[in-house]
Chain A
Amino acid sequence: MGCGTSSSTKDRKSEKALKAALVIQNWYRGYSARLKARQRYALTIFQSIEYADEQGQLQLSNFFSFMLENYTQIHEKDPELVARLFGRTLQDSKDRQEYVSFVDVPDSYNGPRLQFPLTFTDIDLLVEAFKQQQILHAHYVLEVLFETKRVLKQMPNFTQVKTSPTKEITICGDLHGKLDDLFLIFYKNGLPSGSNSYIFNGDFVDRGKHSMEILMILFVSFLVYPNDLHLNRGNHEDFMMNLRYGFTKEILHKYKLHGKKILQILEDVYTWLPIGTIIDNEILVIHGGISESTDLNLLHRIERHKMKSVLMPPISIDEDQDTDLKKTKTGANVVPREGKTNESPSEQLPKHEWEQVIDILWSDPRGKRGCYPNTSRGGGCYFGPDITSKILNKFQLKMLIRSHECKPEGYEICHDGKVVTVFSASNYYEEGSNRGAYIKLCCDMTPRFFQYQVTRATCLRPLYQRVNTMESSAIRILKERMLSRKTDLIRAFQLQDRSKSGKLSMGQWAFSMENTLGLNLPWRSLSPHLVTTDKNGNINYMSTFQDIHIQKPVKEAQSTLIETLYRYRSDLQIIFNVIDSDHSGLISMEEFRAMWKLFNSHYSIHIEDFQVDELAERMDLNKDGSIDFNEFLKAFYVVHKLEKLNKSDANLL
């Protein structure tokens, strides 16, 4: 009897414990799932904005063409500028002498000293030095760049690589200046050597803070092991992209004396990077992707070094070549191009070849069949599984390995196993946003994937804290984006708000946001972070802007003007940098005005010229008739009322 009672009490007790456990588990799983969803939303925000930014590049490229066709003053006064825009090649030996030998390494320099010809000791030396946060002297940087160019010139457009049972190859994706990830890869997988081959599939630079260090390690390793360290060009190995995405700034900051020289040579070196690698005649490794018209046979033959930049599409010169003919026909004056007989048309790729390269560097795979223009990025295309099969079959290939897109797990397989994306920059958007990965391949064996995530002490935080960080970061940049389109957004809201109540339904608000910003985001789920809602579930749409505003550099400046300048500040920065051929940071007031006029008309912006003039003058940036454009642009930054300022400055510029 005693046993009976105690066992039934035990039963009741264990039943209660079971129920309690179920409750806790149920609650936890729900909570954990919502955390992961929030993480995914944050990532979607980062990615959409990143691609929308890249789309801005296309507008910019159209602008340059427009500018060249219409801005005759630049042509006449600054042949240097035209040369840059049309592309020019440095003569080798003469320039090398001139650039390198005039850069001395002082005795006081205690950074790494490279010994030419380079050996594996130099690789070690660099890795150790960079771990100590040292900077490689410009003299060595220039030497490495010249030497790399010389060796790259001998490489074909596609490097052919063979694996064997005793020799695997490791493939890494985008690094984007994240040196810690490279160190982690070398730590886990060993330094490159004759028995440890690597392919680095583009985008070594931009965004991260150590693009130069990564580039130096990769180039030095390449020079020591040219047959075992393979480099493919990515869309960021492009001097125009570097202007926008941070590498140019990094160089000018780390190399105040010789940065400009480095930039000039770098432009050239990029163009000599191979387009891709082919492993065992069956695996194609390229940075972006393919299109339905991808022709590998053609790509093998093109003169790849003529592909200067994605922002420099070949201008159709054919009409202009027959200058006399045209003059006779129309009697009008053609833009004079005689000034640069050794540059111009022959230095560009024919349009169809240029497009082939853009597809390789910019395309993304998608589930939808067919081939469509890549509207998110503004370059390359989206290619479906049918395109993959078609192209792989056409060129007797089995698999495509590419990078270019950040993936939460560092890699992703799609198109029935025929396309693999590998991305090697962990925590790319934010601490905890994603893992990095690399692939090890050998003969016919299935590829093996290795994942990692760089962690610092603070990173070993619980998931909910990491998600919070990521989420705040994403919401912040989304809000800045919204702010840069404030006028358009308000107009869209008011159009739908017939009764002028200041409120919209969730559906109406979401529609306006998506349409105006052009970002395909889960607006309903994000709304609690962005706006306030009343008790009926309707949105107070002006609350969108309540805790954020653009700091006015001058009190009297008009809000629309400020908003416009803020919105286009990245584009303006690039344009200024291109016009400023000697990288002095200054352009003449005249050039500024002329350029602004063109910008105004091309982008259909309704800002009076005199307003911009006035602003520039008020800001007192005139230094002997020149504008310090960095100062000009720095003045437009966003104030987040609820946060401290320092972080926002650093992130914006």
Chain B
Amino acid sequence: MARSVEREKRSKHLVEEWVGRVYTLICVGLLVLTIFSMVYFVASKGLSTFFRDGVNPIDLFTGVKWAPESEPPLFGALPFIVGSFSTSILAALIAAPLGFCAAVFIVELMPKFGRKVLQPVIELLAGIPSVVYGFVGLSVIVPFFRDIFPGQGLGLAAGGVVLSIMILPTITTIATDALAALPSGLKEGSYALGSTRWQTIYRIVLPTTLPALLTGIVLGIARAFGEALAVQMVIGNAPHIPRSLFESASTLTSAITLSMGNTIMGTAHNNALWTLALILLTMTFVFVFIVRWLERRSKV
């Protein structure tokens, strides 16, 4: 009698174990399948520009003229690549020092107020939809640049500034966590040697947390690189390499969102847009790889 009850319970545990295993396996399988099919789809579409439409990859990566509807069509994507990189890096250059200094204030100067009020407020920035950023950029930053600098105000500078505000929460949050997780005793050790607070921040806190700070910056760049809407609204969307920061330009993302609806699936123009998407996807992989590498290094 007791034995049969035990056997019944055991088989129940076995069933539970296997239901759990199969269910989680299906979930992870679906995720992996989605990722693989996305990559496959983008890659097959993007690569057909080279294999089916016969565009020379070198022309695509170095050409400065993008005229897919002209005769013969030209697929020079360099202006978009330059636009994407320069806006993202400009954004990081603006946001990184701001984010780090904000994190220093939050962690070192006013820990109570900073952690309770400032950090949530900064993280709130991450939740604002990108169209709002674009709109604010268009109605505040662009006119501001137009008044001070020659040109329409639309361009890389406006794009970089809008993006820098968008990636500020990422960089600040990661920097705050890194500063807060500083091994205990290091700061005290530095103070006990007669260093000032700022010497300690500059000489101990900054170098020790550098890998984590860089991780935040790379994640910020990755986000800026992939942002489409807000940039598209303020950058001007002229498909050429601008000679100044205040001249109209384009990025990979803005080129895709602008033209995707106007092309026919399977045409050379449409495929060329997929190639731009493939470049974006590849760069995202590179960013993820860099982040992984930085994290591994910071553990040593």
Asked if A pairs with B, the answer is: no
Residues of B in contact with A (beta carbons under 8 Å apart): none
